[in-house]
């Protein structure tokens, strides 16, 4: 595959003012994407795209620059303002647009930002389209003639449309009356959306992380820092807590006791409930999904496949296998029977639906799932850098794997940012996991 210069696994991301997240690059990216999308547009009239963003102060700058670049390429622009990433995917599809643009760095601090695209079907943009955009970015910036310039307008009801879409994924015959929920929107894109979804379904809703100021996104709140939510749930004696991240595509949940539930547990809750209606063919996790999830799904006769870390790879594997459910332990959960992308609000609604239908608590819902203890150590990368060919490590991995059998698993992977190797083992007991890690580590000595 052609080496990417700008796009990563989830669009373009970096520090604001850096080499890619700046006004000039955003202008060029908007123009390049506009040219590529215009060439793909088969219909009459001007093609149109939707731009949504989270609550970072830099979103204003990037939004204006992308809008200008798109207009110069002859693309109409619809501005949705602050909305979750999955809202852009939905609105792009619902409004029959050629693409959607999200300005967000997800769970990163406000100093970072990013730009990613959705196709007209509400899916991540195809690799070949991203590569065409990359090839166009460094070409001279141009402009169509005045009569062909794109227009821009705001969609005033973008939030309302998406709220209704989220509610439509919850059964009509059910409601959340009698349930108290604390919603933590991470001071991000769902601050004016998530509380209304659950409130309009009947729940008593309390909020934290719903007062963005441009600088406090993911700061001490949200799915990456759930301690504030745990405390608020306990103080309020609420039934459940819902933690989203800055762009609301990630979900963690907290029960009345203050116990935190990660993405593996929530995915299991959703899948096991779906099986009350029809068989589930398979589930996609990642290399980091807990081995306990794999074993528990196996007991339900549900196939399990691991993809590389990243919701993009989970989605690709789901499409390849024709399956509907997948996710990451970090909280990205995909329910392809409800949406085309990971959606924290919709995933939460599926968990609440399972609790309501089965008349049980979240802890009871996942009582059959036992997460395995995990032990991981970081060791220096071999001098050659090619750890896969290290004979001592290869033999040690084989020995550790043989030791665990079906009682656990091992994973060895290099860090993407540091010259270190991560040795990880999951097993039925922590002592067994430690023994497996020690065996692997000894192979490097």
Q: Tell me the pLDDT tens digit for each residue of 189-222.
A: 999 999 999 999 999 999 999 999 999 999 999 9
Q: Is the pLDDT of residue 26 over 80?
A: yes
Which residues are the active-site residues? Answer: 106
3-state secondary structure the chain: CCCCCCCEECEEEEECCCCCCCHHHHHHHHHHHHHHHHHHCCCCCCCEEEEEECCCCHHHHHHHHHHHHHHHCCCEEEEEEECCHHHHHHHHHHCCCCEEEEECCCCCCCCEEEEEEEECCCCECCHHHHHHHHHHHCCCCCCCCHHHCCCEEECCCHHHHHHHHHHHCCCCCCCCCCCEEEEECCCCCCCCCHHHHHHHCCCEEEEECCCCCCCCCCCCCCCCCCHHHHHHHHHHCCCEEEEECCCCCCEEEEECCCCEECHHHHHHHHHHHHCCCCCCCEEEEECCCCHHHHHHHHHCCCEEEEECCCHHHHHHHHHHHCCCEEECCCCCEEECCCCCCCCHHHHHHHHHHHHHHHCCCHHHHCCCCCCCCEEEEEEECCCCCCHHHCHHHHHHHHHHHHHHHHHEEEEEEECCCCCEEEEEEEECCHHHHHHHHHHHHHCCC
What does the block give as tokens for 10? Answer: 């989830």
| pTM recorded for the entire structure | 0.93
Predicted local confidence at residue 39, as pLDDT: 83
Mean of pLDDT over the chain = 94
Torsion angle, alpha carbons of 283, 286, 292, 298, to 10 = 30
Read off the pLDDT of each residue in 280-285 and give the average, rounded to a whole number: 97
Predicted local confidence at residue 194, as pLDDT: 98
Predicted local confidence at residue 1, as pLDDT: 46
Q: Going from the N-terminus, what domains does the chain have, and what CATH number goes with each?
A: 12-156 (3.40.120.10), 179-258 (3.40.120.10), 262-371 (3.40.120.10), 374-442 (3.30.310.50)
Q: Tell me the pLDDT tens digit for each residue of 367-419.
A: 999 999 999 999 988 877 788 888 899 999 999 999 999 999 999 988 766 78
Torsion angle, alpha carbons of 114, 119, 123, 124, to 10 = -40
């Amino acid at each position: 595959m052609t080496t990417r210069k700008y796009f990563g696994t989830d669009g373009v991301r970096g520090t604001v003012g850096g080499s890619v997240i700046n006004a000039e690059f955003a202008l060029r990216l908007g123009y390049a994407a506009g040219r590529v999308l215009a060439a793909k547009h088969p219909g009459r009239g001007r093609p149109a795209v939707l731009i949504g963003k989270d609550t970072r102060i830099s979103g204003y700058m990037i939004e204006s620059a992308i809008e200008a670049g798109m207009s110069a390429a002859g693309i109409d622009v619809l501005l949705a303002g602050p909305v979750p990433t999955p809202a852009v995917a939905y609105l792009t599809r619902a409004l029959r647009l050629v693409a959607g643009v999200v300005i967000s760095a997800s769970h990163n601090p406000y100093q970072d930002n990013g730009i990613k695209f959705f196709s007209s079907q509400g899916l991540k943009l195809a690799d070949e389209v991203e590569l065409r955009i990359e090839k166009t970015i460094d070409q001279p910036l141009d402009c169509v003639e005045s009569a062909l310039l794109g227009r821009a307008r705001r969609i005033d009801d973008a939030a309302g449309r998406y709220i209704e879409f989220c509610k439509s994924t919850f059964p009509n015959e059910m409601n959340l009356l009698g349930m108290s929920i604390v919603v933590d929107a991470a001071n991000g894109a769902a601050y004016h959306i998530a509380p209304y979804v659950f409130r309009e379904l009947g729940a008593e809703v309390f909020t934290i992380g719903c007062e963005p100021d441009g600088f406090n996104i993911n700061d001490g709140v949200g799915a990456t820092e759930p301690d504030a939510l745990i405390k608020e749930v306990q103080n309020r004696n609420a039934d459940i807590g819902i933690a989203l991240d800055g762009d609301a595509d990630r979900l963690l949940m907290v029960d009345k006791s203050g116990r935190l539930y990660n993405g593996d547990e929530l995915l299991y809750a959703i899948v096991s409930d779906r099986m009350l209606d029809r068989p589930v063919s398979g589930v996609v996790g990642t290399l980091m999904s807990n081995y306990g999830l794999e074993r528990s799904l196996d007991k339900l006769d549900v196939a399990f496949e691991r993809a590389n870390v990243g919701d993009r790879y989970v989605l690709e594997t789901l499409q390849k296998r024709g399956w509907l459910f997948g996710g990451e332990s970090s909280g990205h959960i995909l329910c392809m029977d409800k949406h085309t992308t990971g959606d924290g609000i919709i995933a939460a609604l599926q968990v609440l639906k399972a609790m309501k239908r089965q008349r049980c608590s979240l802890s009871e819902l996942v009582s059959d799932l036992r997460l395995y203890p995990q032990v991981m150590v970081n060791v220096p990368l071999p001098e050659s850098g090619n750890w896969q060919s290290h004979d001592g490590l290869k033999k040690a991995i084989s020995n550790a794997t043989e030791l665990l059998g079906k009682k656990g698993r091992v994973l060895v992977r290099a860090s993407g940012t540091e010259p270190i190797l991560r040795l990880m083992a999951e097993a039925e007991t922590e002592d067994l996991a430690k023994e497996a890690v020690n065996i692997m580590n000894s192979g490097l000595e």
